[in-house]
Structure 1
Amino acid sequence: MLQNVVTFACISVFLSINAQETNAPKFGKGLFNLIGEDSTWTMKVGLRFQTLAISSWDVENGLSNPSSSMLIRRSRLKFDGFAFSPKLKYKLELGLSNRDQSGASEYTSDAPRYIMDAVLKWNFSRNFVLWFGQTKLPGNRERVISSGDLQMVDRSLLNSRFNIDRDTGVQLRHKTKLSEKFLMKEIFSISQGEGRNVTTGNEGGHQFTGRIELLPFGDFESKGDYRGSDLKFEQNHKLSFAFGYNLNKNAVRTRGNQGAYMINNNGLYATDISNIFIDAMYKYKGFSFMAEYANRDAKDPLAKNSDDTLTGDEVQVGNGLNLQTGYLLSKTVEVSARYTNISLNKNITGEGAENQYTLGLSKYIAGHKLKVQTDVSYTDIGFSTNKLLYRLQVDIHF
């Protein structure tokens, strides 16, 4: 606790001093920018947080069992720039909220997981970029979209059940033009396969991920294929269609590199887990539509002991579908809607289908950098009591 207080105090003093000595950038462009005396390095420092209020009810012959809470959903410090050469970029993102740091275990030395991203990006040849470090894997589109750039209060159930999140490893990225407008982007990744901030070494095998994106009408404005809402009001039709495949060899967690560790009498149970992702993003004059499909399968999804008795753990195999759309009524007000279906293998997980319907409203005061978002969701749960959920969130990003 004392260490955290000291760290926060040092950061506050550092930011205060620099705010007085430097010209602060435009709102949303970072707290301040540093440039080395010989111009061989730069650093932009940013800060953002989200304050979230939640109310929920069981839906069974009326509304019952009400509950409510308020929390700091996310709180992040961000650092990025280049080192030695503009061709060698870096990104460091630290999570400060309890939700950001959750998930500690013996495999992360039972310590808070402060580090979200810590990655170097080397543009070593033309359109080839090599990433090395801990960062998001090229999985489903919604996961790669920053939590600060989402169209709704938070990501869908598909993401929470099927995403492959962050891992430590190497990514090779490339893009090429197939015609004057037609753009193709390819990503290949090899990573450890157990998620972020693991300190005990590789307990299973490695994880291999590939993704191809096709943009027939050219690139989006301001990386809009990975930002929710069409805040740039694309004047021409823009579409990105992508296919991804992920294989986690000898995975030891129930969702590949996510979920609980599958423990048996010999230590950890391991099996091959594969994921398929198909998604698309379309934008035109304030209208946006995103579709995602995810599938997870496993070589042997039921965790076993050495004598073949079941441990009670199982891989979360099944399918997910997410359809989401939004329309900007003005430059600052957007209405949105989402439908999500989760269908896990009932014979393995014991869970039925789950359907969620969400309506959202967003007020963009300064784009995604300062916004107020609210939504209401009805969840039809085949294996539990149906739920009604209301959320209100304020997001600020310096």
Structure 2
Amino acid sequence: MKKLLTIGAILLISSLTHAQSFEGSGIGKGIRFMPRDSSFFLQWNTRFQTQYVGTLNLDDNQYEDAFTIRRFRLKFKGYLLNPNIGYKVELALSNRDQGDFFSEHNDAASIVLDAVLKWKFAPGWQLWVGQTKLPGNRERVISSGSLQLVDRSRLNSRYNIDRDKGLWLWHEDQLGRMVVREVLAVTSGEGRNITSTNESGYDYTGRIEVMPFGKFKSKGDYFGADLMREERPKLSIGVTYDYNVGTSRERGQLGRFILDANGDRVNSDLATLFADAMFKYKGWSVMYEYANKRVARGVINGWDSDGNERYFYTGEAHNVQWGYLFKNNVSVDARWTQNTPTAIMINEVEEQSIIDDPETRYELGLSKYIAGHTLKIQVSTAYRDRLTKDDEMLFFAQMEIGF
């Protein structure tokens, strides 16, 4: 990490020495500069989230809490040679940010989130090459720094298809006032930073979005809350279908590797469907998402490297969130999420969900936007109504700081 920061500092100092100006730099817009020959453009953003989480078990009244640096990101984007050849690099440096990737990557850090080249080769067309987010559910594609509540929903944490490596083909067209956007992706299928040989097949993702009333201001269909206070109703409807051929991980691109009795990776096909919508108008915002994941071919279970039985995570979930942003940039928000993992037949007469506990979650939040999503304070509380485990109350507080 020290080497990485040192290299970053050298790059910054070198670039500043030859930069023409900082025109366009500012909070939320990062530090922007360009060499005298205009051979490239660089925007550097840094942000981190300081988070508090408390959990109250409503059965035994036990309370647990923790402070953490939820995320710490370095992001670089810009273009090379001309604006039609863009790039994005994003690094995750906090331990919490990398989650359980240590155990999934031979105890090595998984720092690289995005490393992708973007080529605008014709009007309305782009080709992306590298590693970045797949065009899955809307909430996952929205940046973690631009969320309406403290963190993403249970639907996202259980069903999202995250990031992968490969090719993305984007197209956007305007039909009168309506905007239609399509994307196709062909990727490795087992997630970011995996270095092993792809022996089982690829992942195929397709998404279409329709904005019947035209585009949102400042790409508002992909950030939480109506910070731009849309003067006219704006709506975006999206559908994604993902088919992952021969994956070995519990959630396709995420989770533990599942092994057979011989210790070899199993290869099952996972099919995932997402449907979502975003609506904004004069401070009001509503977002809906649906997710459904199933094993389309192959076994549904196996073992992990420690000998524990593991299942591919399948089921369905619904998520609705809505809120209102007052003129003093205080937002009141709410969320309802229902997760129904697949029930498994454990004997001849009994079927139950052993993949995960079914639950319904109700959440209320309050946010103060000091400088948009770049500098904000958010608090929320949630009630977890769980089917077979103790119900819980959750308490969150978070400050987002960046430039």
Q: Which range, TM-score by smaller chain?
A: over 0.9
Unaligned runs of 5+ in 2: 346-352
Residue number among 158, 177, 182 corresponding to 1:181 in the alignment:
177
2:246 is equivalent to residue 250 of structure 1? yes
Matches within 5 A, 1:175-324: 175-178=172-175, 180-264=176-260, 265-298=262-295, 299-304=297-302, 312-324=309-321
Separation in structure 2 between the aligned mates of residue 17 and residue 76 of structure 1, nearest angstrom: 21
1:155 to 152, 155, 163: 152
- 1:387 pairs with 2:392: yes
**Could you tell me whether the CA contact under 8 Å between 2:22 and 2:33 is conserved in 1?**
no
CA contact (8 A) 2:15 2:35 kept: no
Q: Is the 8 A contact 2:321 2:333 kept in 1?
A: yes
Structure 1 residues 193-233: Cα deviation after superposition (integer angstroms, max 9, x where no partner): 01111111225321000000010000000000001000000
Structure 1 residue 352: deviation in Å? 4.4
1:48 maps onto 2:47 in alignment: yes
Give the drift of 1:8.
Answer: 3.2
Structure 1 residue matching 2:61: 3-state secondary structure? strand
Matched residue, 1:330: 327
Question: In structure 1, what is the Cα distance between the partners aligned to 2:144 and 2:41?
Answer: 25
Instruction: Give the equivalent residue in structure 2 for 1:83.
Output: 80
- The within-5 A match list for 1:164-175 is 164-175=161-172
The 1-side partners of 2:40 and 2:172 are apart by 26
Deviations 1:55-113 (A, max 9, x none): 111012xx611111001000001100000121000000011101223333576353101
TM-score (norm 2): 0.91
**Structure 2 CA distance for partners of 1:80 and 1:207, relative to 1, 3 Å:** same
Paired residues of 1:231 and 1:331 also in contact (CA < 8 A): no
Gaps of 5+ in 1: none
Instruction: Give the 3 Å change call, closer, same or farther, for CA 66–17 of structure 1 in structure 2.
Output: farther
SS in 2 for 1:155: coil
**Conserved 8 A contact 1:128-1:175:** yes
How far apart, in 1, do the equivalents of 2:32 and 2:212 lie?
A: 36
226-235 or 8-17, which deviates more = 8-17
Q: Which stretch of structure 1 is more off in the superposition, 311-320 or 384-393?
A: 311-320
1:370 to 2:369 alignment: no
Shift of 1:353: 2.1
Task: Please tell me whether residue 359 in structure 1 is matched to residue 368 in structure 2.
Answer: no
- CA–CA separation in structure 2 for the residues paired with 1:74 and 1:207: 28
1:26 matched residue in structure 2:
26
Tell me the amino acid that sits aligned with residue 46 of structure 2. Answer: L
* Structure 2 counterpart of 1:188, one-letter code: L
Higher alpha-carbon deviation: 33-42 or 250-259: 33-42
Q: Percent identity?
A: 41
> Would the aligned equivalents of 1:100 and 1:113 in 2 still touch at CA under 8 Å?
no
Once the two structures are TM-superposed, the CA of residue 11 in structure 1 deviates from its matched residue by 3.9
Offset from partner CA, 1:278-307 (integer Å, 9 cap, x none): 0000000000000000000102452259xx
Q: How does 1:99-110 map to 2 (within 5 A)?
A: 99-104=96-101, 108-110=105-107
Residue 372 of structure 1: how far off its partner (Å): 0.1
SS of alignment partner, residue 52 of structure 1: strand
Please give the TM-score of this superposition, normalised by the length of structure 1.
0.92
Q: Residue 65 of structure 2 aligns to a residue in which SS? A: strand
Instruction: Determine if contact 2:102/2:110 at 8 Å carries over to the other structure.
Output: no
Does the aligned pair in 2 maintain the 1:225–1:281 contact within 8 Å?
A: yes
**Offset, 1:263:** 1.1
Q: How many positions carry a matched residue from both structures?
A: 387
Cα distance in 1, alignment partners of residues 278 and 121 from structure 2: 29
Question: What is the Cα deviation at residue 36 of structure 1?
Answer: 2.5
Which amino acid is the alignment partner of residue 100 of structure 1? Answer: D
- Find the residue that maps to 1:161 and give its secondary structure: helix
Matched, 1:39 2:35: no
- 373, 379, 401: which is aligned to 1:396? 401
Distance in 2 between residues matched to 1:339 and 1:106, nearest whole Å = 32
